[in-house]
Amino acid sequence: MKKPPLHKSFYYTFKGLFWLLKNERNFQIHCLGLLVNLILIFYFKLQTWEIVTVLSVTFGVMITEALNTCIEKICDFIEPNFDKRIGVIKDVAGAAVLIASILAVVVGAIIYWKYIFS
């Protein structure tokens, strides 16, 4: 298949991003989390390393959510009916989001702790 020009590739990736924003409730919630973090970063005037850490774990959750959605869509495409193996694949993909979210909450708690309680 012929590769699309660079600007078309960007167009398709942004199309994917807007699809997630429009259709995936969990992704919308993660975007809200990003917004809250951006507000807190400016409000508490976080140090550079703290900003980098908070944004890394926040975007990490959004990336795993996007990949989880891809896996769910592939599963629904190859097996629309109930299948235990599909269930395990979807559960494990969901667990990846859970692990990334736990990390984000723990990192957030460690970083914001001193700003909130000082």
Ligand X SMILES: Nc1ncnc2c1ncn2[C@@H]1O[C@H](COP(=O)(O)OP(=O)(O)OP(=O)(O)O)[C@@H](O)[C@H]1O
Annotated binding site: 12, 24, 65, 72, 90-91
> What are φ and ψ of residue 2, in 5° steps?
-70, 135
Report the amino acid identity of residue 82. F
Residue 108 identity (one-letter amino acid): G
User: At closest approach, how far in Å is the CB of 82 from ligand X?
Assistant: 4
Which range of residues in 2-10, 12-20, 46-54, 77-85 is near ligand X by CB under 6 A? 77-85
Q: How many CB atoms lie within 10 A of CB 1?
A: 3
DSSP state of 80: -
For ligand X, the closer CB: 31 or 86: 86
Interaction of residue 83 with ligand X, rule CB under 6 A? yes
82 binds ligand X (CB under 6 A): yes
101 lies in the site for ligand X, by CB under 6 A: no
Per CB under 6 A, does 45 bind ligand X? Answer: no
* Segment near ligand X (CB under 6 A); pick from 14-22, 56-64, 81-89, 98-106: 81-89
Q: Taking the alpha carbons of 30, 36, 39, 43 in that order, is the dihedral positive or negative?
A: negative
Q: Could you count the other beta carbons within 10 Å of the beta carbon of residue 47?
A: 10
Half-sphere exposure of 42 (CA within 13 A, CB side): 5
CB of 97 to ligand X, least distance (A): 7
Residue ranges binding ligand X (CB under 6 A): 26, 68, 72, 79, 82-83, 86-87, 90-91, 94
